[in-house]
Structure formats: C-alpha cells, structure tokens
Structure 1
Amino acid sequence: MSKSKTYFPLIIGVAIAAGIFIGGKLNFGDSSDRLFTSNSKKDKLNRLIDYIDYEYVEDVNTDSIVDVTVNGILDNLDPHSVYIPKENMQKVAENMKGNFVGIGINFYTFKDTITVIKTIENGPSARVGIVGGDRIISANGESLLGGGYNNDTLVDKLKGERYTQLLLEVYRKGEPKLLTFNVTRDEVPIKSVDAAYMLTNQLGYIKINRFAESTYKEFKKALLSLKKQGATSLALDLRGNPGGFLEVAVNIVDEFLEDDKLIVYTRNKKGKEDRSYATKKGDFEKGQVYVMIDESSASASEIIAGALQDNDKGTIVGRRSYGKGLVQREMKLGDGSAVRLTVSKYYTPTGRSIQRSYDNGNRDYYDDYSDRLNSGELLDESKIEVADSLKFTTPKGNIVYGGGGIIPDVFVPYDTKMLNETLTFLEKRGYLNNFIFEELEKEREVYKNMSKEDFFNNFKITDEVVKSFEDFLKIKTRSNIVFVAYKEEVKYYLKATLAEQLFGFGAYFKILNKHDVMIDKVIDLSNNQN
C-alpha cells in the first residue's frame, strides 16, 4: 500500500449484514403450544442429534452441531433471518435497547495501562470527575497494570450490576499521588443521534446511526432544540444507518407528516396487513425536510425515506439505498439463544416493496455492492436500473420505483476522496482514534483553554502530524501506508477525531461535514428553497 489508491469500501456489506436484521416488534398470533407441537420433521432432527450424542464413535460437541444446523436452515430462507448465539445476546440487546450498565468510559490500553480516551457525557465516570488521559491503575484493589488483559476481559472487570460500586485508583499527569474515585455503575447511553446542530441560520442537521429503543427520544430532543435555534428546514442524515426498530422509524416520520397520512404497512404470510398512520403529534409538519441516504441506508432508514417520498414531503438526497423490505421478530430458543425470523414484508404508502431480490442466494445478495460499483451506479445516476413494472405514482404525480431500495430525488455521486477504502478501514479499526489520543497525551495542556469555536475555525493539522500518523501506522499495521493523493482528506479526519476527544458529542461530524459534498448539496437546495 505504498501508493495511495481510492477504492469503494468493499467491506461495507459485511457491516450492513451485521446491523440490518432488526426490523420491528410485531404481534405474533400463534401460541407456543401451536408453534412447537411434535411432528415428524422435528422428530427427525431430534433423533439425529440424539444418535450423535449417544452412539457416535467419538465425543462431539452437539451444541455446535445444533448451531450449524440452525444457521443452515436459516440460510435457506432469506438473508435477514438470523441466529443469535447465547454468548452474543447481551451485546445485541444492549445495542438495540440504547444503553448498557457500566462506568461510562472509552479507553485505550496505552503502554500496558488502561487509559481513558474520554468519558461518556453525564455517565458515572464523568460525574465523579474522571477525565480523558487518566490512567486506571487498579479496580477494587486488583491491579490492572502490565498488559495481561485483553479488551473483553477489561470490559468485564469494569462492567457489573447497576448501582454497584467500583473503587478506582487513577494516575493523572501532574498530580503528586494517585487519585481515588468511587464510581457507581449505572445505565450508560449508547447514543444513536451522533450530531445535532445548525448548518445555516435556517437549516438544522441531525445524524442518526441506528434505530434503537432510545432513538426517538434522542431525536425529539434534538429536533426541539434546533427549532428553538431557528430551524425551519432539517437535514436528516441517515447515511450508513442499517436500520432497527420499525415503530421508532414510524414515530420519527410522524413528526413530519400531517394527521392520518399513511406511513408504512406490513403484510404477513396470511395476507394480514398492519397499517401505521401519522397522528396529531408532529412538531415539524410545516418544515422542509432533506433526507440523506446512501447505499448503506437500510430497513428503518428506508421506511422514513419512502414514507416521506411517497407523501410528497421533503426531498431525498444521495444514492440508492440498500433495499431491505423485510421485518424480523426475535424469538427465543430456550437456551439463551434466539432467532430473528422474517415474519412480514413492509410496503411504502404507494404500495411499493423496496426489498432487493435474494432468489440467487445470500452470497449473490451481498455482492450487490460490487454490482453497483461495477455498473458505475455509485458515480452516475443514469446507471441506476429501474423496472417499469415497479413504477408507482405519488399523490402529486411524481414517479417512484420499487424493487430494490429508495432512489433519491437528487443524486449525489460517491466522493472517492473522502470515502476511500483506506480511510474507511483506518477509521473503523480505531487507528485514527488511538493515534490522536497518543498525540494528545504529548501536549494535552496546549488544548486546555482552547475554545470549541477557535478550534473549529482556526486549528489546522500539520504535514508533520500526518507524517507521524504514517509512522504510527507502519508500526501498528506493519504496512507502508503513505498519504500522497489524499493528504488533505487525512487532515480532515485527524482534526475531526481530535475534536471528538476534546469536545465530545457532535464535534466529529461538525468538522467532517464542512468537506462533505452531500451536505453542500443540501445547503444549496435549502438556500434555493428559501
């Protein structure tokens, strides 16, 4: 990788596959007695497992066989019916609930010591005075020095039951002796609203990363705050958002649509439909809305974009969305594991399904990104394939299409500079975050009295820092990564990461958005609208 090249992030499909299988909570009419009555097909599987357990010549872990069997069955259904092993259930549940119980820090094992990168705003550690740069020496008298623990083990030692206490000994640079903090474990929010601020005097901006149980509450708080600041238009950024709970998306759409407008409907295998309509509670029904989507916007993100597009409300900006129109329900399997099974399909108000075909199997389904790349669709709107048989008309006569994602009203091509594969990889793997932390540790005092406004407007990343980052990556990745063709873009990412560690919520995107071509397009549209 000695020469920088720009690629589309091929790994994006894997991230989407992990995030989009939660579609909603629906009422499921069948009782457990009816669902799990004995029959020959189930008996056959039970007998086979028993034979292997008791008669097979060697000892076999039949639990693993069952897991493989379950996955094999689901692989023959659809790409979004998935099995969740027992050991993964807690993490998945926390992610979709929107919080976990812990002490509220982001940390990095720096020189064999747990070092706080930043505390989570209003979390347990922030409340007792722990700050970025603090090194945790011991927890409840147990030394954490020496680098003998991996991250999962360290997380286990810091997490625990709610309201239990953790006595931490902390080294802080400049303090003559160790500091002691008694932290009470509590619920720590996993934010789904990444940023909320004003792009212009009239245009507000909210970025949502997923649709968890807490998302609507976060969104509503941000929306009301922006209205108080004068927002009459809103840029709703759903790029990279893999979806989540259907009813959360419905609640958000309700803020924009007038009473009794159809938002979405689902249909199960028996043909039963469940329709969701807008209510009287909308707080932004008169405002202009710009929904930003891309090839990673899926499921609940597409419900929002489709509902607004079909009701002739606002403008959809970006690239064709992912194309997931299936709804899953989580069902427990009795041993701590669960299956998320597709139980219905959802349809936008005009009646279109935006689910992509999976007739050729899961591998072909997830190769759709490569197909879009090879066809040129991500750079050229004319390359988007549509079928006349899937043409629908909105109440105002606008043509929309089903059959594979939401096609935007205003197309914005992929930015091969800001979104190249190398930068995406380095950001997702934490290399940017860890490098900036180490740089910050060298001169944390320099930034102590710097205001957020001064930093945003005047601070610049130097060429020397970029060279230091290259040297850092050479050690960490054992690769010779040299930023030649996109040095300025690297500087934007480094500054954004530094802003996040210094100033917290929203700072990262506030920096990057200054160099975002889709944001620029939305601002232009908003200015012309006004």
Structure 2
Amino acid sequence: MEKSEKHPTGLRLYLPLILALVLVIGFLLGVKLSSNNRASVTRFLSPSHGQNELLNHLINYISISYVDSIDQQQLVEETIHALLRNLDPHSTFIPARDFQAMNDPLMGSFEGIGIEFNMILDTVVVINPIAGGPSQKAGLMPGDRIVKVGDENIAGVELPTNDVVRRLRGEKGTEITVKVLRRGVADLLPFTIVRDVIPQYSLDIAYMVDENIGYIRLNKFSATTHQEFVTAMRQLQEEGMKQLILDLRGNGGGVMDASIALADEFLSAQKLIVYTEGFNRQRQEVYSRRGGGFETQPLVILIDEWSASASEIVAGAVQDHDRGIIIGRRSFGKGLVQEQVNLADGSALRLTVARYHTPSGRSIQRPYQQGEEQYYFDLMQRMMGDAENPPQPEELGDTIQFRTSAGRIVFGGGGITPDIVVPMQSGEQFVFFNQAANKGLINRFAFNYSDRNRAALMRFANADAFVTNFTISQGILNDFLGFARAEGLSIPSQVHPESLALIRQNLKALIGRNIFGAEAFFPVLLQRDQTFTKAVDVLRQGTYRELTAGVARP
C-alpha cells in the first residue's frame, strides 16, 4: 500500500485556496465595512463554524456581498471543478444538465429518435437510421438532411453538435417533428417521430477474417458489453472461429464490472483478474469463475494510447497470465477507480477511491503529480516518441518490473506495454493524406459520392459483395483530387503513392459505411492496418505458442 503522505486529505489540498480567499476577503472587507458589519464578518470567519462548513459559507457570502452580480450555481460548479483538479485527472463533477449525456453510454442505451448522423456543411445528415428504431419506422432514410426541428431551423446556423443532440433526444413516448431535405424531392418532408429507448452498442463489428480467425471490436465498456461480446463470440464460433483478435484500440474504458466479466471469458477458474486498493478502501480481489467461453484458444488483443481503464484491466489480466498476446502501442495508463455518487440536485460526483492492479501487482497509472495539462502533454509526447521503442528494464528501473505467470518481464508505471509494439506510422509519405483527412475532405467526398450514387451502390447484394467487388477507380480518385483542389487544398505535382493508397482505402471504407454500415467499413479499413495485419501474421505463422511460452519478451 502507498504511504499515507502520498494521499493527502481533501482539507490539506483545499486549505491553501480557502485561506487565500479568506485573507483576500478579510483584507478588502476590513477596509470598507462599518463597525456594525465587522462583528458579523468575524463570526462568519470564526473557526467555530468548523472546517467542513468553511467553503460553503465562503461561497454564500461571496454570492450575497460581492460588488457585482454572481451566478451562484456557476460559482459552485467552478469551485468544485477547481478542487477536483487538485486531486487527480479523473475525479470529475457532472452538473445535472449534463448527467444524462454522460451516464447514457455506461448504461448501454438512451432515449431519442435513433439515427447515426454527421454534421456536413453545418447540416445534420442522416448516415443510417438505427434498425427498428423510431426514425426508421417514421420513414427517415440515409442521406436525408434534417433542416428543422419543430419550427426551429437547425441547418446553416452553426449549431454545435451537442446542441443538436439535445434537441433530438428526449423522454420515451414524446413526439418530435422534423423536416428533412431529400435528394430528388423539391419540398421539405415532415416526419413526426415518437422517441423511444435506443440501444447504444459497445460492439462495433464481429466478423470472420478467414476460416479460423474471428475479429471483434469493442468501443467502450457499458452495462451491456459482456452480453454483446458473448453473443458475437458464439456466433463466430458457429462460423468456425478457433482464434480471436479482440480490438480494444480507442476504447477508453467505462464500467469496471463489464471488463471483469469479459476477462473471465478468457481465463480458467480461480485466476486473479484484478485487485483494487485505496487509502480509504481495503484491498478487494476479483477472481475468474468457471465456464468462460474462450479459455484455451489463441487470443490476441490490440491496444493503443487511447485504450484505457477497463481496457487495461482486460489486457493486463490476459498478459499477466500469459493467456494471450498484446499487440499495438502502449496503453493510456489510467489505473484509478472512480465511484459515482448521485447528488440531490441531479448532479453527480465521480471520485477516485482506489487504484487497480493487474494480477502481477502492476499499477499501470501514469504519474499525474505535475498537473492535468502536463499529464496529457506527456501522453502526446509518448505517442510520437517511445511508442516506437518499447522501454527496456534498465530504462524503467527494477521497482516497476514484474513477471507474468510464465516468467516474462512486464512493466508498470505507465500503461500496458504490448508484447509486440507496432509503431505509429509517420513520415513525408503521409503528409498529403493527413492534410486531406484533417480538412474533412475525404469524409465529405465519400458522402457526396454515396449520396449521388446510392441506387447504383445498393445493387451490391450485401456488405461482403461491396467489400469484394467495389473499387476506387482512377476516375473516382481524379474526381476527389479535383474536389480537394476546389476546396483550397494544394495538390503537389507528385502525390506520394502511400498517400494515394490511403485515400483510396478510406474513400472505399467511408462509402461502404454510408451504404451498408460497419460491415462494409472496418473490413476495408483494416486491410492496410499494420497492427491488425501483425496480429493475423502471429496467428497464421505459428509464432503465437512461442510468444506465450515464457520466453523473454522481444
């Protein structure tokens, strides 16, 4: 356990701020107040009120006495945010107005109209109505532009995406009227939609890479994640899956219980999955149970710098028990456990109460003592730097070296370091692609092409037929370059072949998603994904057993 001085109490953290406020207020008021008021100020600042009430009294006094008008709610919220920033980067306060939007992803559902949309040229464009959802039942179609919600115009008015979401979401059973512009129809079309519960899936896609290898990608850990995974896993097993690639890249975590249930699918009975411990929380250990659905077959987990928290619990347990191979880039390094307390006004506090440790004893939390800004700046530096060169034991120091069940060296102190590191691609060959992608040109061109050619593209029988048979011809590529030039992007006389190949791939993937959804998006996008192809090679070439047999990490 960490020594107590490394876990200062809330009072010790808050006291400098509180005392500074008290001194400033005392000095300024002491000059101006009459003798009649001075006695009440003395009582207000008296220790007899107790340290626990001091901050509340300060805020109240500022609200009723400050020279200018004060928004007390804003003052309270900003004070809470300031106090939490002095604790750690992951303790947060959620105002009541934001609670539902913050909590829905963890619950696995929300109440609304059920569409996937993009903001294109300041207009809400329907990518796909969710199957069986209210919008599909009402008749909305891919490519529809939502121009009005009720009598309010939401197109071309630079409305932030969050504000659009707030207008479209609402309680189950309530009605909303939208007017949409549809290609080929002159007038706006009105639709009345009855809001309903909309599932918010954790699983992006599950499909067979070949006759043996299955692929599952999870975007978060919510209340429904485990069941989604089990359903997908069983379906792939029925299709012949004997090896699994689990993609947790970009998965920032979520519900801890969901990660424990997922890890339990891969481990035999009575294996330690994770333990938590805090200054005010006793050590709690969680072990696997019987009946995991994928306990012995080859397993590869993909991670990157945005794989955090619950993702790291799964990757850490699998790595420490030599149950599978971790491939990719070092993970985020969030080893802090938050406990949510719902408050009377509808707001909530997510307070860090413990650190979690992998089975070998690793706490993979990155240092955060230098403040939040430095915390995230260090992550950016690491992405561009040491991801290309995995740390060696002599560089990290003996204190954060650990060993797996089979004796392999693994590291703590800053995320899960993969067994096989695949560095981030960078270089001059990617400059043009990055410029086009960052300006949103690839996405916009793909949508416009899909919208103009929807009928022709729908002639493909399904997503598999699209992935196999559709190609980005030279003519389509030339049209894209002309579009990019018209949008102000400078086109070099010789565009590097790597950039052109990535543009072709992304155009095809995005067109496929616009027409057929994720089933025509990820299989295309993964074709040139070096981390994914490395995982496939490890499984196909027979090196998997060697890497899990306790040999030293390469």
- 1:266·1:347 contact (CA, 8 Å) conserved in 2? yes
Report the counterpart of residue 390 of structure 1 in structure 2: 400
Deviations 1:26-79 (A, max 9, x none): xxxxxxxxxxxx962232212221221122121122322222211221111111
- CA distance in structure 1 between the aligned counterparts of 2:435 and 2:267, rounded to whole angstroms: 38
- Mark the structure with the bigger radius of gyration: 2
**What SS does structure 2 have at the residue aligned with 1:324?**
coil
TM-aligned CA distance change 1:107 to 1:306, over 3 Å:
closer
- 1:291·1:317 contact (CA, 8 Å) conserved in 2? yes
Query: What does 1:368-447 align with in structure 2 at a 5 Å threshold?
Result: 368-373=378-383, 376-381=385-390, 385-416=395-426, 432-447=442-457
TM superposition shift of 1:114: 5.0
Q: RMSD of the alignment, in Å?
A: 3.1
TM-aligned CA distance change 1:409 to 1:272, over 3 Å:
same
- 2:432·2:495 contact (CA, 8 Å) conserved in 1? no
TM-aligned CA distance change 1:92 to 1:262, over 3 Å:
same
- 1:195·1:507 contact (CA, 8 Å) conserved in 2? no
Number of residues paired by the alignment?
490
TM superposition shift of 1:139: 5.9
* Letter aligned with residue 503 of structure 2: V
**What SS does structure 1 have at the residue aligned with 2:289?**
coil
- CA distance in structure 2 between the aligned counterparts of 1:439 and 1:447, rounded to whole angstroms: 10
TM-aligned CA distance change 1:407 to 1:170, over 3 Å:
closer
TM-aligned CA distance change 1:369 to 1:285, over 3 Å:
same
Deviations 1:286-344 (A, max 9, x none): 21110111122111111001101111101111121111111001223433322211001
- CA distance in structure 1 between the aligned counterparts of 2:82 and 2:398, rounded to whole angstroms: 36
TM-aligned CA distance change 1:418 to 1:39, over 3 Å:
farther
TM-aligned CA distance change 1:202 to 1:109, over 3 Å:
closer
Query: What does 1:6-405 align with in structure 2 at a 5 Å threshold?
Result: 40-108=50-118, 115-136=125-146, 142=151, 147=156, 150=159, 151-152=161-162, 154-166=164-176, 172-173=182-183, 182-270=192-280, 272-373=282-383, 376-381=385-390, 385-405=395-415
Report the counterpart of residue 469 of structure 2 in structure 1: 458
* Letter aligned with residue 469 of structure 2: N
* Letter aligned with residue 541 of structure 2: N
Q: Whose helix fraction is larger, Structure 1's or Structure 2's?
A: 2
Deviations 1:328-379 (A, max 9, x none): 01223433322211001111111111111122222222122243256x3222
- After TM superposition, the structure 1 stretch with the greater mean CA deviation from structure 2, 163-172 or 38-47, is 163-172
Report the counterpart of residue 27 of structure 1 in structure 2: none
> What stretches of structure 2 of length at least 5 have no aligned partner?
1-47, 545-554
Report the counterpart of residue 516 of structure 1 in structure 2: 529
Identity over the aligned pairs, expressed in percent?
Answer: 38
- CA distance in structure 1 between the aligned counterparts of 2:53 and 2:155, rounded to whole angstroms: 53
- 1:418·1:489 contact (CA, 8 Å) conserved in 2? no
Deviations 1:111-161 (A, max 9, x none): 887542221233222244432123556666x47586458355544443322
- After TM superposition, the structure 1 stretch with the greater mean CA deviation from structure 2, 164-173 or 352-361, is 164-173
* Letter aligned with residue 290 of structure 1: V
TM-aligned CA distance change 1:405 to 1:221, over 3 Å:
same
- 2:109·2:200 contact (CA, 8 Å) conserved in 1? yes
TM superposition shift of 1:520: 1.0
TM superposition shift of 1:91: 0.9
TM-aligned CA distance change 1:367 to 1:152, over 3 Å:
closer
* Letter aligned with residue 207 of structure 1: R
- 1:377·1:383 contact (CA, 8 Å) conserved in 2? no
- After TM superposition, the structure 1 stretch with the greater mean CA deviation from structure 2, 297-306 or 408-417, is 408-417
TM-aligned CA distance change 1:460 to 1:409, over 3 Å:
same
**What SS does structure 2 have at the residue aligned with 1:239?**
coil
- 2:390·2:421 contact (CA, 8 Å) conserved in 1? yes
TM superposition shift of 1:163: 2.6
- CA distance in structure 2 between the aligned counterparts of 1:323 and 1:504, rounded to whole angstroms: 32
> What stretches of structure 1 of length at least 5 have no aligned partner?
1-37
TM-aligned CA distance change 1:174 to 1:284, over 3 Å:
same
- 2:305·2:383 contact (CA, 8 Å) conserved in 1? no
- 1:109·1:147 contact (CA, 8 Å) conserved in 2? no
TM superposition shift of 1:496: 0.8
- CA distance in structure 1 between the aligned counterparts of 2:491 and 2:451, rounded to whole angstroms: 23
TM superposition shift of 1:431: 5.4
TM-score (norm 1): 0.83
Report the counterpart of residue 7 of structure 2 in structure 1: none
**What SS does structure 2 have at the residue aligned with 1:454?**
helix
**What SS does structure 2 have at the residue aligned with 1:118?**
strand
- 1:113·1:147 contact (CA, 8 Å) conserved in 2? yes
TM-aligned CA distance change 1:73 to 1:221, over 3 Å:
same
- CA distance in structure 1 between the aligned counterparts of 2:445 and 2:435, rounded to whole angstroms: 14
- CA distance in structure 1 between the aligned counterparts of 2:453 and 2:243, rounded to whole angstroms: 41
- 2:449·2:511 contact (CA, 8 Å) conserved in 1? no
**What SS does structure 1 have at the residue aligned with 2:396?**
coil
TM-aligned CA distance change 1:420 to 1:251, over 3 Å:
farther
- 1:194·1:505 contact (CA, 8 Å) conserved in 2? yes
- CA distance in structure 2 between the aligned counterparts of 1:300 and 1:205, rounded to whole angstroms: 19
The answer to whether 1:526 aligns with 2:536 is no
- 2:315·2:416 contact (CA, 8 Å) conserved in 1? yes
**What SS does structure 2 have at the residue aligned with 1:367?**
helix
* Letter aligned with residue 323 of structure 1: G
TM-aligned CA distance change 1:438 to 1:57, over 3 Å:
same
**What SS does structure 2 have at the residue aligned with 1:201?**
coil
- 1:194·1:207 contact (CA, 8 Å) conserved in 2? yes
- After TM superposition, the structure 1 stretch with the greater mean CA deviation from structure 2, 215-224 or 415-424, is 415-424
TM-aligned CA distance change 1:277 to 1:256, over 3 Å:
same
TM-aligned CA distance change 1:88 to 1:225, over 3 Å:
same
- CA distance in structure 1 between the aligned counterparts of 2:306 and 2:290, rounded to whole angstroms: 31
Deviations 1:224-267 (A, max 9, x none): 11111111111001111111111100000111111111111111
The answer to whether 1:448 aligns with 2:466 is no
- 2:222·2:254 contact (CA, 8 Å) conserved in 1? yes
Report the counterpart of residue 500 of structure 2 in structure 1: 487
